[in-house]
Amino acid sequence: MYTIPSPASPDSFPPAGSSSTPAPDRPRRSRLGRFGVLPQLAGTSFLVLGLFARLPLAMLTVGALTLVTTASGSYAAGGFAAGAVGIGSALGAPLLGFLADKRGQRIVLLASAVLNTVAIAALLVVTLTSSGFSGNALSLVLATSFAMGFTCPQIGPLARVRWMAMTRRTPRSDLDTALSYEGTADELTFVLGPALVGLLASLIAPWLPLALAAALTITLVSAFAVHRTVAFSDDAPAAGTAGSGEGAETAAPRDYRPALVLLPVAGMIAIGTFFGSTQTFLTAFAGDFGVAESSGLLYAVMGLSSAFAALSVAYWSQRFGHTGRWMASAAGMAGAAAALALPHSIPAMLAVLFVLGVFVGPTMVTIFSIGSAVAPGHRLGTVMTLLASGIVAGTAIGSALAGTLAEAAGAAGAAVVPASAAGVLLVLGAASAVALRPPRP
């Protein structure tokens, strides 16, 4: 049985000046409340870069779908291209995380930014110059789509690694605040990215969203790669992930076992399954009212409430342990997801989605927190990118399952999948409570 060690003492860390890594400034009171510690630790520019540099990731899948569908006139070709992006991202993210752990984030992110920009440009050229979308032409489209996903910079997971390094000598609540912000940033970009693609593609040209994604990648990702905070993750010694001050609940386990990492990874796969199946369910539900193209707007309601709920985690009591948070949030998700089958009107569905989002954000933040606690110090990037890949893989699973049920039984049949995914999350939360329970006095 793995037990949570007691908070580390200040003496367990290297003395000041023993490493080339700069020490973060001592947090001061701020009008931003607990979130005021973030710009004090990392600088306002890091928050801005970390937010917008991850936007291309949220644009690539929908951008490929829109571009290839428009150019070929085939929904199947567009769907295959979007699927290739997702598969590439799911496979490439852990590799990028591993390389960042081995070689440092700076060089890996710079190389990833260049390669991803080239891959996006290749997809644009292949798609816009193809006279037909069968045989070799379709193979080139799928290959460049896969490359685009495989090389996509993993800003969110690697930003979390930097926060873990920057909060190593501060209270655990600072890391919770940072992860709360990161969860909100993820939610906002996943809502904003597809909306931006739809707006630019419909008003100007289908190729413009991917061109913009390439421009954002080569500029903002490169700036993120060389931001001064990279010194914390690239040069600091691996001394654990949790804060050392009062309120530190967990630390990187000395008796690290891969099975502990599998729990949060499985949780993220369940989260992704919930996301993918909910998107498909909403498409079928909106289709019953003749507005299937508006399903993204329905999904955005859940995304927005989830984003703001993620921010609230920073203010939760440190006595409310992470495994307890996981179970409580997942229980709320399961109850609200079960209610997806009840509404018979769009306003009623919007109400259910808003309530559902309130539980989704805290669940994601909590699972990332547990992932940071059980990850070995020298494999933080690998574990964080594995968690992100779990979401991508789960989204594909959820979309496929819900799509099959929607074809056979309509929206009511598809609603079973998000409710089941939330139930699995609750079971995994209970398992984490057993595996990570603290030692008895």
Instruction: Name residue, tokens 């896969």.
Output: 146
Largest CA distance in the chain: 72
Question: pLDDT per residue over 242-297, tens digit each?
Answer: 444 433 344 344 344 567 788 899 999 999 889 888 888 888 888 888 876 677 77
pLDDT value of residue 122: 95
Is residue 242 a contact partner of residue 248, using CB atoms and an 8 Å limit? yes
Helix (H) or strand (E) holding 225: helix 222-225
Which of these, 307, 282, 421, lies nearest to 364 by C-alpha position? 307
Is residue 174 a contact partner of residue 246, using CB atoms and an 8 Å limit? no
pLDDT value of residue 233: 76
Which of these, 320, 309, 431, lies nearest to 374 by C-alpha position? 431
Sites in the chain below the pLDDT cut of 50: 1-23, 25-27, 237-256
Helix (H) or strand (E) holding 194: helix 172-203
Which of these, 259, 193, 260, lies nearest to 57 by C-alpha position? 193
Kindly give the interhelix angle for 44-52 and 155-166, rounded to the nearest 10 degrees: 160
Q: How far apart are CA 24 and CA 79, in angstroms?
A: 46
Q: How far apart are CA 58 and CA 310, in angstroms?
A: 18
Q: Which residues of 121-149 are buried (b: 16+ CB within 10 A; e: fewer)?
A: ebbbebbeebeebeeebbebbbbbbbbbb
pLDDT value of residue 153: 92
pLDDT value of residue 31: 59
pLDDT value of residue 112: 95
Q: How far apart are CA 432 and CA 322, in angstroms?
A: 9
Is residue 218 a contact partner of residue 225, using CB atoms and an 8 Å limit? no
Instruction: Give this prediction's pTM.
Output: 0.75
Residue at 15: amino acid letter: P
Is residue 369 a contact partner of residue 264, using CB atoms and an 8 Å limit? no
* Cα–Cα distances in angstroms (integers) from residue 274 to residues 128, 191, 220, 379, in the given order: 34, 16, 30, 27
Q: Which residues of 29-63 are buried (b: 16+ CB within 10 A; e: fewer)?
A: eeeeebbebbebbbeeebbebbbbbbbbbbbbbbb
Helix (H) or strand (E) holding 91: helix 75-103
pLDDT value of residue 8: 35
